Amino acid sequence: MAVHTSTLPKGKKPGQLFIARVILTARFVWLSETEVAVKTVRSECDRYGVQDSNFAVNFKSLNGAGITISGSGAGQKAKVRQSYIDGFAQFLRDTLGTEEGTATS
């Protein structure tokens, strides 16, 4: 993932959830992966400095509305459905504060 840290939402939990959503969506769209190991998201959160002891609880809050969390421990996975992907553009606009049809630098 290549996002400048100043682009991330402020706070550990919002940063974790933003990173999770971007990774899950990117892997679904570009790699056709419907399931992603949670450890993949965790390592990116660590790399961006938003990893903390609440990660597992925060990540589980994504469960529902097109994302299903299954398994436990190191085997935990997130399954992404098309219904989640369809709403991702709006999520980015809401989170990053961009208008439809404009790009940020």
Average pLDDT, the chain: 86
Task: Render pLDDT for 5-43 as a digit per residue (tens, 0 to 9).
Answer: 887 889 999 999 999 999 999 999 999 999 999 999 999
Number of domains in the chain: 1
Q: Which residue has the higher pLDDT, 51 or 91?
A: 51
Residue 37 sits in a domain of what CATH number?
1.10.10
> What is the Cα–Cα distance from 87 to 65, expressed in whole angstroms?
10
Neighbours of 94 (CB within 10 A): 10
Can you spell out the DSSP letters for 52-97? -TTHHHHHHTT-BTTEEEES-GGG-EEEE-HHHHHTHHHHHHHHHT
User: What's the pTM?
Assistant: 0.81
Which tokens hold the place of 1? 């993932």
**Using CA of residue 104, residue 12, residue 55, residue 39, what is the dihedral sign?**
positive
Tell me, yes or no, whether 61 lies in a domain.
yes
Tell me, yes or no, whether 2 lies in a domain.
no
